[in-house]
Amino acid sequence: MGDWITSFLLMGALSTGGTLPFWASANQFGLAPESNGVLATASIQKNFNTEQALQYRCGASLAFRADGMGQGLQRCNEVMVDEFYGSLRWKVLVLDVGFKHRELDFYGASTHLGSLSTTGGHLLSGVNARSMPGYNLVCQPVAIPFTKERLWFYGSFGDYKMLDNRYVEGALCHRMSLYLKVCITSWMDFSFGLDHYALWGGLAPGQAMNNSVNFSNYFRVITGRAASASGSQNDQMNVLGDHGGAELLRFDFKGNGWKIVFQHDIPYSDKSGMKFQNFPDGVNTLSFSFNDKKKWVSDVLYEFAYTMYQSGPIHDPEVDEHGNPIPWNPSLCFIGRDDYFNNMEYKSGWTYYGRPMTMPLMFPVGTKAGTWSRHQTCVGFENTRLIAHHIGLSGMLFLKAPYKLMLTFSQNYGSYGKQYAGENPSGKPWGTVKETPLLQFSAAFVGEWPNLAGVKGLNLQYGIYGDIGEVLKNNFALTLGLRYRL
């Protein structure tokens, strides 16, 4: 209980195209190389001691990444702080301070291999980007009085600092979530809730502070109010900062030694999305898993992502009944062309160190052209409208060696503002334009062989990856590494 755990990883990556395929670098907490290279990590952590009333945990992880090892590639060596945190837990309250990984869901046979889901189980808190420094106060599930433990609530409240090179330098991030869980029977639960973020403060190119960092503006951010007269015109007409998030609907079914989960994660960027006017957009996850992971197949997951509608292709109301333009009026509810996780002023959007903090299938600007790089300032997403089918499979080879198979097929349309190909439906009635997608297929088979050469705690990790399609170039890669855990 509360023991220290130390882990070391040394991994190399080599691809046919220089840059690595999609799943070789996606959902790796922003640590994996972009191209041929190596990754080394060292971590130490102490877990909570549940026998104590006031519990603490802490952890630190450093990473060294060297990539660009090939002709014509940009060479780069980096030392990164992956995690550096301390936590306190008292009853149902947990306070995390520092750099800390987000919690994952839909694990397979081994936590070392990551989640089977494209989002890690959380649309807004994916594991595709590095960790931001800050604090997060978590309230774990609490039974609502007089409900006979049928109703539970839980949530979080936190603030973070963004350290990367972005369009608005030094932006702050506020995060808040609230969920309600209904225990329908002993074997079925239903959960729903809201996970919200707001980017605010910071310095835009050639401008004074967009929104000064003070208590008055912070109160406006956490209550979703418009900016004062000193704020930007856009923030005065809407809300202060860049607000967005995800709404969650989830069913859990538990059987004798197995579990089925259905989850609908819905993105939103404005009030129309929060009012479900963007239906049927969302990431739909169906998962089946055995409690006993020592099976050839222990976990199966299917995910269907659809973000095409975005409250419609027309940003109403733009014209009156006579076809005359309507002047902007902040009291009107403008809907349509939501453009998830992008923003007019906070142009880097919901990205960090150039990588999406949502599901990685929403490609950053420059992906198709091959110009995207973490070394450049990210200016948001070029692919927010997509249809994707994803399969995740996990188990134990020979009932002892964990593996994970990921197969992802996506139809990518770009955005309402800039279509990848064909006619753009923006401003035209929904369903009247036959759109042209760019097709993409990405696959990964990763695994580990435990106790290599009879050495306890020494695991061989490997990965085989491939891309075929019209957005990412055709590519194939291998990774090989050693992980030693004490």
pLDDT digits (tens, 9 = 90+) for 405-436: 999 999 999 999 899 999 999 989 999 999 99
**Using one digit for the tens of pLDDT, what is the confidence trace for 158-197?**
999 999 999 999 999 999 999 999 999 999 999 999 999 9
Angle of CA points 227, 222, 269, to nearest 5°:
75
Which residues lie below 8 Å from residue 309, measured CB to CB, with a gap of 6+? 278, 279, 280, 281, 430
CA distance 222 to 430: 34
Q: Please report the pLDDT score of residue 288 as a whole number.
A: 98
Query: Residue 274, SS3?
Result: helix
**28 DSSP β-pair partners:** none
Q: How many other C-beta atoms can be found within 10 angstroms of the C-beta atom of residue 306?
A: 16
Would you say 156 and 139 are in contact if contact means Cβ atoms under 8 Å apart? yes
CA distance 136 to 123: 18
Identity of the residue numbered 282: G
Burial of 153 (0-12, 13-18, 19+ CB in 10 A): middle
**Radius of gyration over every alpha carbon of the chain, rounded to an integer in angstroms:** 23
- Residue 77: its H or E element: strand 76-90
**43 DSSP β-pair partners:** 7, 61
DSSP state of 131: P
What are the tokens at 458?
């020494």
Q: Please report the pLDDT score of residue 204 as a whole number.
A: 85
**Using one digit for the tens of pLDDT, what is the confidence trace for 317-336?**
555 556 566 555 544 456 78
Where do we find the tokens 């891309």? Answer: 467
DSSP state of 25: H
Longest dimension (CA), the chain: 80
283: phi then psi, degrees, rounded to nearest 5: -105, 115
Where do we find the tokens 């670098």? Answer: 25
Residue 310 has pLDDT above 80, yes or no: yes
Q: How many other C-beta atoms can be found within 10 angstroms of the C-beta atom of residue 486?
A: 10
Which residue did the predictor score with more confidence, 419 or 3? 419
| Count of H-run helices and E-run strands, the chain | 4, 20
Identity of the residue numbered 325: P
Would you say 436 and 423 are in contact if contact means Cβ atoms under 8 Å apart? yes
**Using one digit for the tens of pLDDT, what is the confidence trace for 16-53?**
988 999 999 999 999 999 999 999 999 999 999 988 99
Would you say 390 and 384 are in contact if contact means Cβ atoms under 8 Å apart? no
Mean pLDDT, rounded, for 213-233? 85
What are the tokens at 280?
């049927």
- CA 120 vs. chain centroid, Å, equals 7
Q: Please report the pLDDT score of residue 392 as a whole number.
A: 98
CA distance 380 to 101: 22
Give the residue among 2, 6, 57, 63 at the shortest CA–CA distance from 37.
63
Would you say 413 and 363 are in contact if contact means Cβ atoms under 8 Å apart? no
In angstroms, the first-to-last Cα distance of the chain is 15
Least confident of 153-157, 326-330, 473-477: 326-330
φ/ψ bin of 180: left (φ > 0), alpha (ψ from -120 to 50), beta (otherwise): beta
Identity of the residue numbered 270: D
**286 DSSP β-pair partners:** 262, 302
Q: Please report the pLDDT score of residue 331 as a whole number.
A: 47
Would you say 369 and 470 are in contact if contact means Cβ atoms under 8 Å apart? no
For 321-340, b/e burial (b = at least 16 CB within 10 A) is: eeeeeeeeeeeeebbbbbbb
CA distance 186 to 374: 47
**Using one digit for the tens of pLDDT, what is the confidence trace for 344-381?**
899 999 999 999 999 999 999 999 999 998 888 999 99
**Using one digit for the tens of pLDDT, what is the confidence trace for 71-83?**
667 788 999 999 9
CA distance 32 to 114: 13
Where do we find the tokens 């967005």? Answer: 244
Query: Residue 432, SS3?
Result: coil
Q: Please report the pLDDT score of residue 270 as a whole number.
A: 80
Which residue did the predictor score with more confidence, 386 or 323? 386
Taking the model in full, what pTM does it have?
0.93
Would you say 67 and 26 are in contact if contact means Cβ atoms under 8 Å apart? no
Q: How does the average pLDDT of the chain come out, rounded? A: 92
DSSP state of 129: S
